[in-house]
Structures are given as C-alpha cells and as structure tokens.
Structure 1
Amino acid sequence: MEKIKQFLCQKNESANENRRRVGFFMIACSLVVFFACAIRISYVILAGRVAGVSLAERTEALYNGSQILYANRGEIFDRSGRPLVINGQQFDMIAVLSPDYTDGGEPLYLPQEDFPRAAAIISQHIDSTSEEIQAMLETGITEEGETLFQVELGSAAKALSQEQRNAIETELEAENIHGILFNPTNNRTYVNGSMAAHSLGYTTNQDGKVVGGGGLEKAYNDLLQGTDGQIVYERNAQGTPVPGTIETTRPMIHGENLTTTLSEPLQMQLETLLSRANETAQAENMTGVVMKADTGEILAMAQRPTFNPETMEGTEADNFVWRNLFVEEQYEPGSTMKIGTVATAIDNGSFDAAEVIPAGRIEVNGIEINDHDRGRKGPLTMRQAFSWSSNVGMVELFNKMGDDRWRESIGRLGFDKPINAGLPGEVVGSLPDDNLVDLAMSTYGQAVSVNQLQMLRMFSAIANEGIPVQPKIVVNEENTLENERMFSARASRQVLDYMRDVVEDEEYGTAYDLYHLDDENVSAKTGTAQIAAEDGSGYLRGANDYIYSVALIYPSDEPQYILYLTMKRPQNYSQNILPTIANPLMASSVQRSE
C-alpha cells in the first residue's frame, strides 16, 4: 500500500513537472512571437516598407491620382480650308458594380438586382442581346460572392456615338439606374469617306493614342499628334478628385492642322470619274492625278481600287493594295517617255521634224524592236513618228545621239532621285542598264523604271519652258529639289506643239479626236507599256497585259495644268475609257482656276 502511494506521488510530481515545462515553452514561444512582431513593427515603422512595397508610395497611390490629357490630333484641310479629316469623339461603355462607388452617400453603382433592367435598355442601342449583356454583368460577381469594381460590356459597347450615349443615359436615368459609365475615346473622321484615301492615309489606336498608319497621317504624324498633358490630384476614399487639388504637371499641346494642295471639288470629280471608268474597264488598277503646271501643287490624286480609311471597307478586295501607286510603285512608263526623248534630241541637234524614216522594225545588237503597227503606216517623218508613237523613230534618234549622250541626258531627267512630295514610302525609279539594247529601249519607255510623280516632274519641264517643278501635296512644303533646267525653252515649245498632233492629226495621231477642251488646244501623249514578268523572264504576253496611259498638258498655248492617267491590265480595254475621265476633268480644272 505504501508503495502504491509512493508511486502515485511520483507520478503527480512528474505531471506537475510536465505542466511547468509546457507552461515555460508556451511562455517562451509567446515571447519569441512578441519580440518578432515588435521587431517587424519597428522595421515597418522605421523603413516604411512591407513585402518590398513602400507604404508611403502605396498611401500616395491610394490618395493621389494622375490622368493623361490626350492632345487633339491636328485636322487636315483642302487648299480652300474645306475639312478633309477631322476629329470625332466616341465612347466605350462600362458598368461599375462596386458598392463602394458612391457620392455623398448616394449610390452610383449598378446593383445586381438591376442587371436585367439595365441589360434590356442597353440592348436596344447596341448590337448585343439583353441576355448577352446580362451574362457579361454577371461576370462581375465572383463565385465567392465578391463584387468586382467594374466590368466591360464587350466589343459592341465600344466606339459608341454621342447619340447612342445620350439615348442610353436618358433611358437609364428615367428608370433610376446607376453605374453605367462612358469613357471618351478619340477617333478620326474622314469627311468624304474613301476620297483621296491613299494620300490622306489612315490612323491606328496604340495605347489610347491615335497614330498615323499611312499617307499624310503617317508622314506628318509628329506635327499632327501634338503632345499629351498630365494632371495630378488628391482623391477621396471613392477615388474621385478632391476639389481644389488638381494640378497640371505637363501642359497639353494640341496637334497642328495640315493644309493640302488638294481641291475637294476636283478630287471628288476625279474619284467619281475613275469609279465609273473602272466599272467598264475592270482594271487591275487605275490612277489619275491633276497638277498645277507652274507650282507643282497636286489638285487631285486618286487610285482604284481604294478603301475607306475610317471603316477599312475595300481592303478585303483581292486586288487591293496598300501602296500609294504614285510614289510606292516602280513601273516602265512606255511611250509617254518619248516626250523627254524628243525634247532631248531637239536640244542636242539630233531631231529633224521633216526627216523620213522607214518605220516598222529595227535591230539593235541583234535584238529586233518593232512598232505597234508593224510598219503598216509606211515611212514616217520624225514628227509623225512622235505623234504615231513609233518605237523605231525613237531608236533612230538614239542612234543619232549616241549612247554616251543619251546616257547623260536620261540621267538629267531625275528618275533615280526621290521627289519628296510629302508622301511616305517613296520608291525611286532606276536608269537603264549600261548596254545598247536597254539604252535604246529606254527612249520609248521600256528598260527604265519611274514613279508617277517623277513623270509629272518631267512633264512640268515641258509646260514651263524647260524648267521642272517639284510635285507636292502639302501647302508651303519646302522645295527639296533643285529645279535646274531640263530642256531648252525652244525644245519644250516644239514638243508641246508636236503633242497637239496626237489629238489633232487624223492620219498620224494615236488619240485623234479623243481629248477635247472647249476653245482651247490640248497637248497629249499616249502610252502603251509592256509589263515585266515578276519572275524576270521578260514581258507579259496577254492581250491586255499593258499599262495604258495618257499625259495631257493644257491649254497648249499657256499651260496651266497637267493631267496624267494610267490603266493597268484592264479586262475590257477601249481607247475611249481614259477620255471619259480626262475631258470633264480638264474642263472643270480650267473653269475653277484653282
């Protein structure tokens, strides 16, 4: 019995000892935790950081806000101040769901019980059903029942017009529904749709900023876009600015406007005439440009196919190209090149208008060169060779000039130098290879490549007594080319006179009675250029695998305008197609005198 008592006493002492140990251990742990917390709190107080995040910065971010002030993009006008590209404003719609979004205790959020009514109203004004809108609103409530601050309402709720916003807000207000907000976004409005689309260009939206993507929008982006500003402010618990705390840290500078040389009425007429002509021709592409002969100011410039830079309608067409065909494409110009060849030959004494040549065919280093009629007209005078567009006549002039003299002369025409007309992406032409065949072919516009504005510059030298002007599309654009004399005044006047034969000579005019201007004479030169195969195997051989063109300088006596039209690979060719564009356009330009 005594042993049992002794055993129980020892066991009780052991239990008491264990309790004391546990007590000491818990006290020690508590002290460790306490001191750890104290050290941590002291560190936070002294260092002001938690998990690498600055408390001061976090507090500043919570109660201090900033906002970017987007500068208005400069607008684009025609030569008379008519707007061509303007700024508009659209809106992206969102729904604020957080109950914390209040003002003076008044709720400004959209509660879940109002989802169906809000969705029904919104669906009447955007391209989404009420079920789709409600489903998007429901994504703002998590599975745990937490509410997101806001949700977006899909692509159909973006880029809304002012009218859509007003209608939605009015109906929501009538139903006392809050929480639907509209964030403004800038957009570009192209007043006349696809008019001059490749010249004016288009814009893209990059991080809320409108940026030029082509044409003048791209070339003059730095001028048009301006400089964004910024404001900072203190905000309350709801995140709204506290009155009197807004401060500008970077001033906003709006973009500068751009005035073009284009004439809106003439441009619109060219667009209409090109569209009608292409309905008949069904060409791979067509172009037209009207330029003031004495200043180089481009009054109208258009191409087909085209597109709407606001909606991008037209870009899906199989034959659509983004390139501006006037500056971003090389081509062999064909017989319109003969204008420069004859003027050069006159200046170096190689051209005798009355000289008779046996037209039809000629050989250069064993390569046969033919006329378009294979010589059916019989012998031609040199003047007739020009108006009848004889390739053989031009090669005869080349033989008289000699390859060295022609090589030097064609270099002065500037086909290997950029025009810098104010449009981006210019691809300069190239001179013929240094062999007799290519040099001879270049006299009639093959084996030499150009861009269209380079051809305009050469035409302008004929119109201005031998001195070219630089084509341009922006008013007050600085001249970057030295307009050195290209031909003599005598040669230019003679060529203008010979160009009249093209439309006035019943027997030897390639465009006889096709181009007219009331009470005025017109100087013209037609062109039919072969198209080089992409694989380098020579030229395409299809029935209409040509670039058909005409250059018109008018009136002949005192040139004021230059009109240049091209039509590439039409499915339905007729020599009457280009005159349907040119004749009304010539009449309008002279009447407007712009």
Structure 2
Amino acid sequence: MSDEQDIQARAARGWRLWLVFLLLVLIGLAISGKMLTLNMQEQAFLKRQGDARILRTAVIPAHRGVISDRNGQPLSVSAPVSTVWMNPQEFDLQNASIDRLASLLGSDRAALLSKVSRFRAKQFLYLKRQMTPAQAVQIEALDIPGVYVDREYKRFYPAAEVATHLVGFTNVDGKGQEGVELAFDDWLQGVPGKKLVMRDLLGRTVKHIRELEPMSQGQDLQLSIDLRLQYLAYRELKAAVQAHKADSAAMVVLDAHTGEVLAMVNQPSYNPNDRSNLGAGMESLRNRAVTDTFEPGSTMKPLTVAAALMSGKYQLDSVIDTSPGYIRVKGKTIRDHRNYGELDIGRIITKSSNVGVTKLALSMHEDAVRNTMQNVGLGQVPGTGFPGEQAGVLPYHAKNRLVERATMSYGYGLAVTPLQLAQAYIPFATGGLTRPVSLLKLERPEPATRVMPEAIANQVLRMMETVTQQGGTGRRAAIEGYQVAGKTGTAHKVGSSGYEDDKYVAVFAGVAPVENPEIIAVVMVDNPKGQEYYGGEVAAPVFSRVVGGALRMLNVAPDNWKPATQVVMQ
C-alpha cells in the first residue's frame, strides 16, 4: 500500500472515530437532558406514580365499646381477629401454595379456584372473615401474590346464652343487630381511622408513614343487671320450663328503690357466640320479657282492690258477699274456684276471688280500674329504648260494657309484658310511688310520681302477703326468713276459636321483703303441659328460689327470722 493510501485510510478511521465520539456525546447530552427534564419538570408526576405503586391507605380498626353489668363484669367485648382477602387480578391460578391456602381457609382447591374465576374481573374478594390471628399468620407466611390479611375485631359474649336476649349481638361488620347492641349502636360503635403505609410487591406492610385520620374508640356501656342474679334466674327458669314442658318463659327482677332491671331472662335461649343453630323461625331471638304480651290474669286484682280503696266506697273492713261462688253479668257467668261466701277486702286477694273483684269494679266509676292500671304504666311503652318494646293493650270500656269492665278487674281483656307487670308493682313496694324502669345502671334514681296514697299502697301490700301464707294461692312463693307479698295469676290462652280450655299462662308477681321492699320480680311461664299449670304451682316456686337467692346475695337482712328452738341436754 502506498503512502498516500495509508494516509487516506488513517483519515477515514479518524473521521469515523470522531463520528462515534460525536454520537456518544449526543446520546449523553440526550440522556442528561432527559434526566434533567424528569428531575425538574416531571418530578411531581413520577413521585405520584411511584407512591401509587408502593403507598396504600389502610384502615385503622376502631374498638367497639365494652358492655358490662352493674359490677363491671364484661357482657360483650371485642377480640382481635383477621380478615383474609385477595385481588383476583393479581392472583396466580397456578401458584404452588393454592392447596395449602384452601386448607387454611377451610375449603378445597376446586372451590377456591372456582370462586376466584367468578370474580376474576374484580379487584377485591373476601376469602374469610374473622379468622384467628394464628391462622392468618400461616396464610401470610405462604407469600402468595394478591392475597392480603387485615386486622379487625370480633364481638365475644362471655355470659353467652344467659344474657343474650338483653345484650343482643352484632353482625360480621360490627353493627348491632339485636338487643342493647342494636339499641345503643351509635354509642358503642367506634369510628375507624386511616393511615398511610408502604407495602412491598406481596402487599405486606413494611412501613407506617403517617396517620391520615384519627381513630375514635367506641364508648363503654354499663347495664343495670347483676350477672350473679342473671345466672341464678336463668338456671331456675330453664329448669322450670323443662320440668313443666312449657313453650317459653320469661322473668324480670327489679330494684324496688330505683326501678333498675337486676335480671332479665328468657327461654328458649341461644348462644350468641355460635348462631349456626338458630333455625329458620328465629323464635329464640325474641326478648319475651319486653316484646311478648299476655293476659296477666289475677295479678291485676291488687290494682282493682287499690282502686276500690281509693274510690272511698270501701274500707279494710268492708265485706263482699261472693255467694254462691258465681255471678251473672249480662249473660256471662263469672266463677270462683269455690263458694267463699262473705270476704273482706283482704280475703278477696288471699282467695283470688273473681266474683269479689267483679263486684268491686262494677260498683265504681267505669274508668276507676282502668285509670289505676294506666297510672302504674300499663298500656304504655316502658321507655327503656329496647328494640321492639311493646306498650301492651289497655282498652277503654264504656259504662255499659259491663262484661269487659268485669273481666279487666281480674286480668282478662288487656295485655302486658313481664317488664310492664313488674313496673306496675313498684307502687306496692314504694308506698304508692312509681318511677321509670331502666336497663342501664343509674347514678341516681329517676324522679318518682305518686299514683296512690301511701297508706293504701301499704294496706294492699299486706293483703298480698297473705297470698304466700297458709290459705293463700301462692304459698310456694314463700322464702324462709323473709316476708313475701305477691299475687298468682293463671290465664287461659286465646286460640283460633276463643279461649283454650287446656292452655294456660302461669304468672307470679311479688315483692320482698315486706318490711323494707328491695326486690320486685315477675315470672311468666307460657303453656306448661305437665299436671301442674296454676301460677301458684309453676311460677311461684321460681320466684321463691330466685328472689330468695337474690336477697342473700345482696345481703338483705331477714325480716321474718325465727330462731331455732334451743334444746337443753339433760
């Protein structure tokens, strides 16, 4: 090769090197320019895009308020649980851990894949709610893309079926569905908060950035019931229903001084922690003490006698002739159990004379008995705020409706709930005063209203004491060491063609101790099917066992203590 050609070759190589160098410089300048543009002009956009891929807004679960009894014993608490959910669009249908995931979820591979396939177009799918944290940890350890675990709370009821009709329960989302949980849902329900978190590609939270909205805890609620008395009443009522093969039953125990509900139990019951066996009818859900009405029968007779004494027409020594043991009122025959002959006002209650109270009621103003019943709370909603609370039925009868006025005097033709009946007996325990009943613990009693003179209230209370003594209809309600006043009631149930001859409601309402009343209680047993069906046979013994136990638990001094006879050893 000549020198000239060699020079030309070197020149060509140098030009190409410069060209490559120039291209590299231009590329470097372009990259630098793009980097400068991204850093200066598109920085905010890129930051938003990056954050959108790693930053998430997470919910801070709110703790629902605790429900407790009057002594602070928990009735409803919130326990931490976990919820497993997935984004079907991120889920790999061929993942090797699917079988294990399905097993932990209590399902199988085919069912899980079928569910995911149906929601493939969605971005959110619940896999299982309210799992135990230990199970959720095992699912998190699988590291399956698209499967996430969140924390939440589940309601737990320590007293289970014993207090469930009063406390109620919440749904899976923590919303009150029954009972106090529903009635005070806004008070108990907390407000969830929000926080900004950083998550990795598997959806795991790796860093908490900041709180966006503060979480507000639910407020606690203290009920008036005493859990000790609640357990006692539940046990005795359940035993009575089983022994007498009854359809249902309810019992209410009140504090005579404040009107607070110390116990409220029902049969049949259910376990709110496991509602899988409630059945289609949902009959066991009802709080019958507040929502179910019945004709109270002879438990109304003390109110009729009180009305008679307040009318001024009768005194304690007034005598009513009940012979020959029945009376005809506009073609209807009203009978006593037998012919009691002449009875004074007190003996009318002792013997539970239908004829006696009929004569009293028809001799007074047509509104006298009804007004007395209305003044003690019958025919009105008690106002506890409990869902489904019933007002009962207290009809108005014109002067010429003699049969209806007569039957009302001994508890037919009107309807009450067990709670209303207990409230109606408050004046007999307080010297003629009545006050609202409460399901919540009170700092101080609500103001009382006088509905009958103190002397008359005390006189009727003493009359009711004879019911539980020798010769009375409620002897089985007696409590050793205490004076007990009360009234039995046995009412025929209404069927499709009128009153049924062989179906009854057995009731006992009473006050103890008589000297300084502390407790008012009502027992209602619906349709007992055994050989015993009278209120004095079915309901009175339950009253005796529950109220006797309650008086001892509350350290109430006996007012009828009879010391044991001393035996002198010779």
In the superposition, the TM-score normalised over structure 1's length comes to 0.76
Aligned counterpart, 1:567 = 525
Match of 2:175 in 1: 211
2:311 aligned residue (348, 356, 371): 348
Alpha-carbon separation, structure 2, partners of 1:449 and 1:152? 48
Q: Secondary structure at the match of 1:278?
A: helix
Shift in CA distance, 60/454, structure 1 to aligned 2, threshold 3 Å: same
Q: CA deviation at 1:254?
A: 0.7
Q: Which residue of 1 aligns with 2:442?
A: 476
Equivalent residues in 2 for 1:354-369 (5 A)? 354=317, 355-359=319-323, 360-369=325-334
Measure the CA separation in 1 of the matches of 2:484 and 2:176: 40
Is 1:78–2:69 an aligned residue pair?
Answer: yes
1:516 and 1:294 mapped to 2: Cα distance?
A: 22
The structural deviation recorded for 1:259 is: 0.4
2:297 corresponds to: 334
Q: Which residue of 2 aligns with 1:159?
A: 130
Find the partner of 1:547 among 505, 512, 515: 505
Change in Cα spacing, 1:247 to 1:406, as seen in structure 2 (3 Å) is closer
1:202 matched residue in structure 2: 169
Aligned mates of 2:426, 2:169 — CA distance in 1:
30
Shift of 1:75: 1.1
Distance (Å, rounded) in 1 between the aligned partners of 2:523 and 2:407: 22
For residues 184 and 520 of structure 1, the distance between their equivalents in structure 2, rounded to whole angstroms, comes to 54
Candidates 423, 446, 450, aligned match of 2:386: 423
Alpha-carbon distance, 1:496 to partner: 1.2
- Given that 2:130 and 2:153 are in contact with CA atoms closer than 8 Å, whether structure 1 keeps it comes out as no
Match of 2:461 in 1: 496
Single out whichever of 426-435 and 561-570 deviates more from structure 2: 426-435
Q: 1:433 to 1:232 in 2, by over 3 A?
A: same
Instruction: Give the counterpart letter for 2:68 in structure 1.
Output: F
Shift of the alpha carbon at 1:378?
A: 4.0
SS in structure 2 opposite 1:566?
A: strand
The one-letter amino acid paired with 1:498 is M
Residue type at the aligned position of 1:366: G
Query: How far does residue 447 in structure 1 lie from its aligned partner after superposition?
Result: 1.2
Partner of 2:195: 231
1:578 to 518, 523, 539: 539
Counterpart of 2:63 in 1: which secondary structure?
A: coil
In the other structure, the counterpart of 2:229 is 266
Alpha carbons 1:137, 1:151 under 8 Å: kept: no
Matched, 1:538 2:498: yes
Deviation at 1:570, TM superposition (A): 1.3
The superposition leaves residues 440-477 of structure 1 with CA deviations (integer Å, 9 ceiling, x where unpaired) of 21111111222222221220110000001221111138
Residue number in structure 2 paired with 1:485 = 450
1:222 to 165, 172, 186: 186
Q: Which amino acid aligns with 1:380?
A: L
Give the AA of the match of 1:73. Answer: R
Q: Tell me how far apart the structure 2 counterparts of residues 444 and 133 of structure 1 sit (CA, whole Å).
A: 67
Q: What is the distance in 2 between the residues matched to 1:110 and 1:404?
A: 78
Measured in 1, the distance between the counterparts of 2:321 and 2:46 equals 95
Conserved in 1, the CA contact under 8 Å of 2:93 and 2:113?
Answer: no
Structure 1 residue 518, shift from structure 2 partner: 2.4
Tell me the secondary structure at the aligned position of residue 355 of structure 2: helix
Provide, for residues 122-147 of structure 1, a one-character-per-residue CA deviation record: whole Å limited to 9, x for no partner: 73x6644xxx23662587699xxx99
The match for 2:360 is 397
- Give the whole-Å Cα distance in 1 for the aligned partners of 2:468 and 2:168: 36
Distance 1:97 1:357, change over 3 A: closer
CA distance in 2, matches of 1:313, 1:264: 25
- Identify which of 109, 112, 115 aligns with 1:133: 109
Provide the rounded CA distance (Å) in 2 between the counterparts of 1:138 and 1:366: 73
Instruction: Please tell me whether the aligned partners of residues 307 and 313 of structure 1 are also in contact (alpha carbons under 8 angstroms).
Output: no
Distance change in 2, residues 1:152/1:451 (3 Å) = closer
Equivalent residue letter for 1:78 = D
Match of 2:20 in 1: none
1:452 aligned residue? 418
Please give the per-residue CA displacement for 1:408-465, whole angstroms capped at 9, x wherever unaligned.
Answer: 4333233232211241221102322323321221111111222222221220110000
Partner of 1:461: 427
User: What is the CA-CA distance between 1:358 and the residue it aligns to?
Assistant: 2.3
Counterpart in 2 of 1:3? none
Amino acid at match of 1:211: K
Separation (CA, whole Å) in 2 of partners of 1:213 and 1:114: 38
Give the Cα separation in 2 of the matches to 1:406 and 1:139: 66
Match of 1:443 in 2: 409
The correspondence for 1:65, drawn from 20, 32, 56, is: 56
Corresponding residue of 2:477: 515
CA contact (8 A) 2:504 2:527 kept: yes
Count of equivalent residues: 501
Post-superposition shift, 1:349? 2.2
Unaligned runs of 5+ in 1: 1-53, 102-108
User: How do 1:241-390 and structure 2 match up within 5 A?
Assistant: 243=207, 245-248=209-212, 250-312=213-275, 315-316=278-279, 320-354=283-317, 355-359=319-323, 360-371=325-336, 373=337, 375-390=338-353
Distance in 2 (alpha carbons) for counterparts of 1:278 and 1:297:
26
Match of 2:524, SS state, is strand
After superposition, the Cα gap between the structure-2 partners of 1:257 and 1:377, relative to the gap in structure 1 and judged at 3 Å, is same
In the aligned structure 2, how far is the partner of 1:57 from the partner of 1:573?
Answer: 80
- Rounded Cα–Cα distance in structure 2 between residues aligned with 1:313 and 1:379: 59
Pair 1:456–1:235, CA change in 2 (3 A):
same
Matching residue's letter, 2:295: E
Q: CA deviation at 1:353?
A: 4.0
The alpha-carbon distance between structure 1 residues 244 and 429, as it changes in their structure 2 partners (threshold 3 A), is closer
Distance in 1 of aligned mates of 2:207 and 2:158? 39
- By how many angstroms is 1:178 displaced? 5.8
Deviation at 1:320, TM superposition (A): 2.2
